[in-house]
Structure 1
């Protein structure tokens, strides 16, 4: 990022969940603009928070990163393959679109996670992280989309333009944590939305969607920090269970430690492995590949997919650094590389049975 664009960049980074800090808190409203509900162990009446976890980095740390960091150079564009998925799948198949957007096909249901088909992960059409890898599925080639799992409101996960297009073409059910429905309805007033808190469940056809805690935060701008909730999902159906986490810090393993006891064997865990450098700044909100492997082990999952890498440059690491780090972490644990795959856009994995 050019230093002359720093002011615009800091606002954008705050919106993406990569900065903001005390300055954002200072201008935030004392009233939650997205959600009104009772206090809980992770909601103080205005903002959601991670119980016992680390708060997001502050504005001073953002300045330190921007003026002192070393940002790898990414290619402007990479060639990717594209695929036209089957209309329905009765077992379990995952197709990578890009970043945190995947098509999960299981038990005859088509689910999209955090769908983004826009060219930029940004509130601005002319600035912000630009897509370097085209979507692995062309929008026109999507099968009928039944539901969307939307994990939180950062711009690289909640893209209103894409949601409006999906609503017009498919009218899917949107399943998302508390407060995000308010944001979505500004662009898609008649969207079908099911909201949930951590610990809640939503039935959908043969599936049950469980809302699980993860360690992250939320913001769309400088004045709404953590006013909408973030979550992971466990999708349970006849073909097995799938864990999907859009974004999380490792948080001493707490997003993973109780999963096996509560859900049994998880057939596939979809885990973020990118946007993690510099480590001193990103640790609380974005796990690195080694931590993702540790989470995979703690969860007891049989297979894993690494996402959140290689599509939008949000942080300092090189585009393919997560792949090398994931390979090293798997070797260090004695885990077969084929059991934890970092899927590139357009790649399809028919998840092996348990």
Structure 2
């Protein structure tokens, strides 16, 4: 068995000494299944570019008191403004979610905030190392312009350090708690996996994060399979519910291949209820085509899932690039 090139630590309930895993979960499918999917047809055609619904946002420097605002940059990149802090999740300003600049999933929607219009960034959360979530070029730019505090699960710090050698990094395992820039962050399980190449599958950890602030708790999931709602129930039991959950709704077709790693919109609505979130924001759609569904399918499926449970759509908006959600108090 190949040695882990990113992390060395004790065996745990989700680390076997070489690779991380989802307890009682499902491993990612192998190469033959990948070929079956890629050559099986059924992939919707996305437009080369998408006109923005709104002009790029120009955020205020900070929000105070009980205000909480989320601005969509694109895919899994969101700006969270709360309690005087500006927090970025899985920042990607590059044109491709790929190890190379000339191939791989290409951005169809421009970033919803121009990089130069970002407010001072205090915290950057990197949930895992897939290319649509960990973009080293963007991390280099953020370190040069903002010198934020990076927070990431075990084994991902080397990628950040390679992009930003002087970076401040807090590395966390599932269940860890850390105070960062005045907020308390908890690293929590998600049902996913990791890889940057062909030989490093599951050698770095993936995670969700809970952000505790004076304005309320935020539950952020970068990527996850629904996993029978196990992690949603555990988050509610541990943290007592959330003012806001930020939940992925895209990259879910075909289900036979994607179910273990990417929840669909109906799963996300179910998860919102299970984790006892007052409001939710959808992400992980309409920016990079990673899977088979049409560009607008996640939003349409989300609307149907909300209607089926009689949840007002304003409680779970699907933001496109540049759109802003001011999270009400419950």
TM-score, normalized by the shorter chain, greater than 0.5: yes
- Equivalent position of 2:105 in the other structure: 129
Aligned alpha-carbon RMSD (Å):
0.8
Is 1:271 matched with 2:243?
A: no
TM-score (norm 1): 0.91
Cα distance in structure 2, aligned partners of 1:67 and 1:260: 40
Cα distance in structure 1, aligned partners of 2:217 and 2:62: 18
How do 1:102-121 residues align onto structure 2 when only pairs under 5 Å count?
Answer: 102-121=78-97
TM-score (norm 2): 0.98
Cα distance in structure 1, aligned partners of 2:182 and 2:141: 26
- Equivalent position of 2:5 in the other structure: 33
SS at 2:231's partner residue? Answer: coil
Is 1:248 matched with 2:224?
A: yes
Cα distance in structure 1, aligned partners of 2:311 and 2:9: 44
Cα distance in structure 2, aligned partners of 1:85 and 1:234: 23
User: Which stretches of structure 1, 4 residues or more, deviate above 3 A after TM superposition?
Assistant: none
Cα distance in structure 1, aligned partners of 2:9 and 2:307: 46
Cα distance in structure 2, aligned partners of 1:183 and 1:341: 32
SS at 1:111's partner residue? Answer: strand
Is 1:142 matched with 2:118?
A: yes
SS at 2:317's partner residue? Answer: strand
Alpha carbons 1:213, 1:232 under 8 Å: kept = yes
The match for 2:26 among 43, 51, 54 is 54
- Equivalent position of 1:71 in the other structure: 43
Note the residue ranges of structure 2 that are not aligned, 5 or more in a row.
Answer: none
How many residues of Structure 1 are paired with residues of Structure 2 in the alignment? 326
How do 1:1-354 residues align onto structure 2 when only pairs under 5 Å count?
Answer: 30-80=2-52, 81-90=55-64, 91-354=67-330
Alpha carbons 2:123, 2:181 under 8 Å: kept = no
Cα distance in structure 2, aligned partners of 1:205 and 1:277: 38
Deviations 1:198-254 (A, max 9, x none): 000110233100000000000000011100000000001100000000000000001
Alpha carbons 1:74, 1:319 under 8 Å: kept = yes
SS at 1:285's partner residue? Answer: coil
Cα distance in structure 2, aligned partners of 1:92 and 1:99: 20
